[in-house]
A and B are shown apart, each in its own frame.
Chain A
Amino acid sequence: MKRITLALALATAQLTSLSAHAVEYNQVQADKSAVNFVYKQMGVAVDGKFKKFSSQLSFDPAKPAAGKATFDVELASVDTGAPEGDDEVAGKPWFNTKAFPTARFVSTGVKPLGGNRYEVAGQLSIKGKTQEVVVPATFTPQGNSAVFDGAFTIRRADFSIGEGAWAKFDIVANDVQIKFRITASGK
């Protein structure tokens, strides 16, 4: 008897999330989410990640244009693979996390590209500078939660990331690819 009730409850929950109204996904599941970056150091690809981030997403696959996403990354949570790299990148010439602790993305529009692929336009603010970016992403609902996957490339110089001795691109390239996978559940 108990089993059946539980099964019914689960089925109802699933149905609700599939029904065609915008679902708020704002509970990021940290263990199933990641924000990584890849850059080139003297021509060699090196990757790193951010450990702390949060997100507010509201998305209805039936009405993608009405979708909204806000994304915050705690820059001091950077992991470059070396402790001295983490300290350096948190410092003034790079993120200057004391003055600018978070990077923020706020979407301005969502364009469906067919299938589960979308193009999310928005404004990315890092270190007091804001740039328009277009982020190709996929949206995969999974029961009560959804997975957003995407990657885009920024130029670090656009945000004054890496100033002074680091401003040249001979050692650390200008292009930085950001890759993310956000698994979030609705409230």
Chain B
Amino acid sequence: MGFTATRDYTATAKLLHWLMAVLIFGLLALGFYMHDLPLSPDKLKLYSWHKWAGITAFALLLVRLAWRAGHRPPALPNSMPKLMQLAAHGGHLALYLLMIAIPISGWLMSSAKGFQTVYFGVLPIPDLLDKNKEIGDLLALVHKSLNLLFIAVLAGHIGAALKHHFIDRDDILTRMLPRHSKEN
């Protein structure tokens, strides 16, 4: 049998992974939805919510990176060809980079557009850029393009997880699932 049992992710890793997954899908959907709305008080409210959720995702990412710095994720199964393992690591690196770059581009865009981000209406996030229309429009395009790229990489990520589960029939998917939790 080609089945290789590998170690599970820890409860912390799983929690952060799924919390961010839910948040990011929400952010993607909300981002495209709000962008197309005609201007209204609700649109402005959704923009604020998107910015707060985006900052939350970024904060969670920092926690995740700090955690990751002290923990190695479980190894990939030996059944995986070296090239595939490399692709998996590259894909994960791309996801991390995008999860850093997307919120930062959103934050800078908001500053350049002249709408400061105030986290939950109480904590002002400093404006690193002055108001500037051209830079604001450019950063909006950057934010959007990075998100389109993110969706492509996420599609690959999800596709790969499903392939592992249904075709390779290894435990790559299940070791990230809460149910599969072993004491760790």
A interface list, Cβ under 8 A from B: 41-47, 81-82, 84-85, 87-88, 165-166, 168, 170-172
Contact = CB atoms under 8 A, between A and B. Distances in A.
Please classify the interface of chain A as helix (H, G, I), strand (E, B), loop, or mixed, using the class held by over half of its residues: mixed
B113 A44 contact: no
Given A42-B45, A42-B48, A82 B113 contact: yes
Given A42-B45, A81-B113, A165 B118 contact: no
A172 B41 CA distance: 8
Please classify the interface of chain B as helix (H, G, I), strand (E, B), loop, or mixed, using the class held by over half of its residues: loop
Contacts of B131: 81
A46 B39 contact: no
A41 B121 contact: no
Contact of B41 (A45, A82, A85, A170): A170
Q: In the complex, which range does the number of interface residues on chain B fall in?
A: 10 to 19
B12 interface: no
Nearest to A170: B41
Interface of B: 38-41, 44-45, 48, 113-116, 118, 121, 124, 131, 133
A171 B121 contact: no
A85 B115 CA distance: 12
A168 B38 CA distance: 18
Nearest to A85: B39
Given A42-B48, A42-B121, A44-B121, A81 B41 contact: no
Contact of A165 (B41, B48, B113): B41
A41 B113 contact: no
Given A41-B115, A42-B48, A44-B118, A84 B39 contact: yes
Contacts of A172: 41, 44
